[in-house]
Amino acid sequence: MVASIEAEANGVAKDIDPTAVVASEPLPPLVAENGKLLGGAGHEQKEEKEIILGKNVHTMCLEVTEPESDDDFTGDKEAYLASVLARYRKNLMERTKHHLGYPYNLDFDYGALGQLQHFSINNLGDPFIESNYGVHSRQFEVGVLDWFARLWELEKDEYWGYMTNCGTEGNLHGILVGREVFPDGILYGSRDSHYSVFKAARMYRMECVKVDTLLSGEIDCADLRIKLLANKDKPAILNVNIGTTVKGAVDDLDLVIQTLEYCGFNHDRFYIHCDGALFGLMMPFVKCAPKVTFKKPIGSVSVSGHKFVGCPMPCGVQITRMEHINVLSRNVEYLASRDATIMGSRNGHAPVFLWYTLNRKGYKGFQKEVQKCLRNAHYLKDCLRSAGISAMLNELSSTVVFERPADEEFVRRWQLACQGNMAHVIVMPNVTIEKLDDFLNELIENRLTWYEDGKAQPPCLAEDVGSENCVCPLHKS
């Protein structure tokens, strides 16, 4: 993918000099091959950025300037805009090379869809009801929804869904449906759940109970049982993680259902939303993995479209049972439709992008990509352990957790996601063995510098990932 981007960028460079500067107009900082910011004269910018609300971006923002009234200046303005975009494109190319910590598949090519960018495509209202607005892509959206409904084993006449703007919106919608079905229900979510689950609780002013997790990051059903029994008089609304944010842990859906039943919650007294943002599309293609299916008593499933699928804009899919959606759906005369979505206007381009890639890859294509990701994740984990670095990989996951690098510049360069003493790499289809080797070699070389004097020691991860996965000086065998 990077090669194709570079080739295309080289084509741009023939007409535009990405380093050209129009006087008094700021440009994005140029990122060199080593991933470090360069100043206008090519010097490295070493100053550290402090995290202060409202100030970080403004230190490097690109000001919008009014065009000159004199037409003679138009050419200079166009040249400036072209140079800004060219330099920004070059930065994107470099940052794509060093992208490991976030669950985005950057291996895609949607050049065939460029012809649609001239249209304002907006999917207003219910995807299954025609509205007065004719520039839409509902036919593509419903095709995508049908595909996911088949994946999760729900018949066409038994499901309702829509394409969301992101995974968070899928969680907000799933939990909202649960709240509307059980207005006095209590929301349960593990401590390792995505922050959007607890955001939903705040937004909807729901009573929320956090459930402990195992070292793997999976929900602790023993603690869930205790907390359910303490609130037997109220229905339960549960978020089940199909891959947690930091450790990539998959909650045991079957055990969660058994726990509910053991605590006396009949199927008409609980609602389960499955947050499958990343792994919801991977797990169906993992051998011996437990199934996420509507044949089990779940209420909804959501997945992100810009993660494993690979889409240039954030988007997602939310599927729920048709029987539940009437509690949300309202007639909207302005649209000549009904609406049960979170947002009003919805991106009409995203369904076309997902429809296009689902048709190109299909189930077999995704299966191959899942197998590749899991193989490469095991390769990374084994290499880290061989190098004496604490590391953990959950059985059903491509998220490799390891010790947090001591240098924050290294963290920023490789765009690692960190929490406490942990960092992680999420192995996606665009992450090759060669890319992992580059990362490993650089990490191992830097560690020699970080810990060379013996005063500083690698962090202990025993409390985070278990002593069996920790090789700090205290736990090194």
Instruction: Write down the residue that tokens 């138009």 correspond to.
Output: 74
Q: How many helices (H) and strands (E) does the chain have?
A: 12, 15
334-361 residues labelled b (16+ CB within 10 A) or e (exposed) = ebebbbbbbeeebbbbbbbbbbbbbeeb
DSSP-assigned letter for residue 317: E
Report strand pairing: 208-211 vs 186-190: parallel
Q: 109 CB contacts (<8 Å, ≥6 apart)?
A: 1, 4
Distance between start and end Cα atoms, the chain: 42
Beta carbons of 262 and 231 less than 8 angstroms apart: no
- Give how far the C-alpha of residue 453 lies from the chain's centroid of Cα atoms, to the nearest Å: 39
Select from 330, 437, 461 the least CA-distant residue to 100.
Answer: 437
Separation CA 320–CA 301 (nearest Å): 7
Is-contact 198 233, C-beta < 8 A? Answer: no
Contact between residue 237 and residue 169 where contact means Cβ atoms under 8 Å apart:
no
Token output for 387: 């190098």
Using an 8 Å Cβ cutoff, are 101 and 417 in contact? yes
Active site residue 397: yes
CB 361 within 8 A of CB 281: no
Catalytic residue of the set 193, 196, 304, 397: 397
The whole-angstrom separation of Cα 223 and Cα 211 is: 6
- Determine how β-strand 316-321 pairs with β-strand 30-31: unpaired
Q: Break the chain down into helix, strand, coil percent, rounded to 5.
A: 40, 15, 45
Q: Minimal CA–CA distance to 182: which of 53, 269, 278?
A: 269
Strands laid side by side in the 422-426 sheet: 391-393, 399-403, 422-426, 417-419
Judged on CB neighbours under 10 Å (0-12, 13-18, 19+), 253 is buried
Residue type for 21, please?
Answer: V
Distance of CA 39 to the CA centre of its chain: 32
Strand blocks (E) in 29-85: 30-31, 37-38
- The H or E element spanning position 441 is helix 433-450
Question: Any idea which residues carry the catalytic annotation?
Answer: 397
